[in-house]
Amino acid sequence: MAIDVIYKDIKNLHISVYPPAGRVRIAAPEEIDEEVIRLAVVQRLPWIKRQQQQLQSAERQSKREMLSGETHYVWGSRYRLDASRRSGNYSVAIEGQYLVVVTPESADAEARRAALDRWYRREVKAAMPALLEKWQPIVGAQADHIVVRRMKTKWGTCKQDSRTIWINPELAKKTPRCLEYIVVHELAHLHERTHNERFVALMDDFMPDWRARRDELNGAPLAEEDWTL
């Protein structure tokens, strides 16, 4: 079981389980022994697993079949899918309350899904330059490479050695505040690799409302797969 441990100036150890996938985080006194932490986890393991099971059984969106009338999300807003239109080329556009996916006559559901996934990726890529221009000076760190690519278990990640930030295109389904939070989170990792107390202090300095944004992201409607930070 992967557990994040953050050492703080506190008297007691606290164990928390976060949505959507049941990430475990421990806030521990600075002088505590690792064996004490391990024993605390063992003692609370039944409770931890109950919390994780409750979170993982929470209602999720059913798998999208890419049929007209389905609900899809774009930047936190709900749209009805219109997959009825045909053309020689693929295209995606928002028209009023509809997300219109135009495909060739021969396209099946997987081809329509792939076209929409490519569009989500372009949406995130288009949003990145303005976010980087705003936040890199504030954070005091610059990423040398930005990769927008789907990941199964993370909204974003930072490869500190190459100064590369990876962003999940699924963020195009969430509110813009969520993408902004992930960008700042990954830029902060260029200063501090782990989620330790220094990292938390950096996030508090750069984006004081980051916890609210994180909770907003993790509390958004869940797809068939989960991501968390």
pLDDT digits (tens, 9 = 90+) for 9-45: 888 888 888 766 788 889 899 889 889 999 999 999 9
Contact 151, 143 (CB under 8 A): no
Contact 81, 67 (CB under 8 A): yes
Q: Is residue 99 part of a domain?
A: yes
Question: Do 147 and 92 fall into the same domain?
Answer: yes
Q: Is residue 64 part of a domain?
A: no
Question: Do 47 and 130 fall into the same domain?
Answer: no
Question: Do 9 and 85 fall into the same domain?
Answer: no
Question: Do 110 and 208 fall into the same domain?
Answer: yes
CB atoms within 10 A of CB 109: 13
The contacts of residue 52 (CB under 8 Å, 6+ apart) are 17, 21, 22, 24
Question: Do 50 and 112 fall into the same domain?
Answer: no
Residue-wise pLDDT tens digits, 138-154: 999 999 999 999 887 78
Q: What is the average pLDDT score of the chain?
A: 88
Please state, in angstroms and rounded to a whole number, the distance separating the CA atoms of residues 27 and 7. 6
Question: Do 188 and 103 fall into the same domain?
Answer: yes
Please name the residue that has the structure tokens 């135009």. Answer: 102
The helix (run of H) or strand (run of E) holding residue 83 is none
Could you give the number of structural domains in the chain? Answer: 2
Give residue 114's domain range: 71-219
Q: Is residue 213 part of a domain?
A: yes
Amino acid at 51: Q
Question: Do 83 and 190 fall into the same domain?
Answer: yes
pLDDT band at 228 (very low <50, low <70, confident <90, very high): very low
Listed in order, strand segments (DSSP E) in 121-207 are 145-148, 156-159, 164-167
The pLDDT of residue 225 = 39
Q: Is residue 63 part of a domain?
A: no
Taking CA atoms, 99 is separated from 44, 116, 122, in Å, by: 46, 10, 15
Peptide bond into 20 cis (omega under 30): yes
- The pTM is what? 0.72
Please state, in angstroms and rounded to a whole number, the distance separating the CA atoms of residues 7 and 13. 9
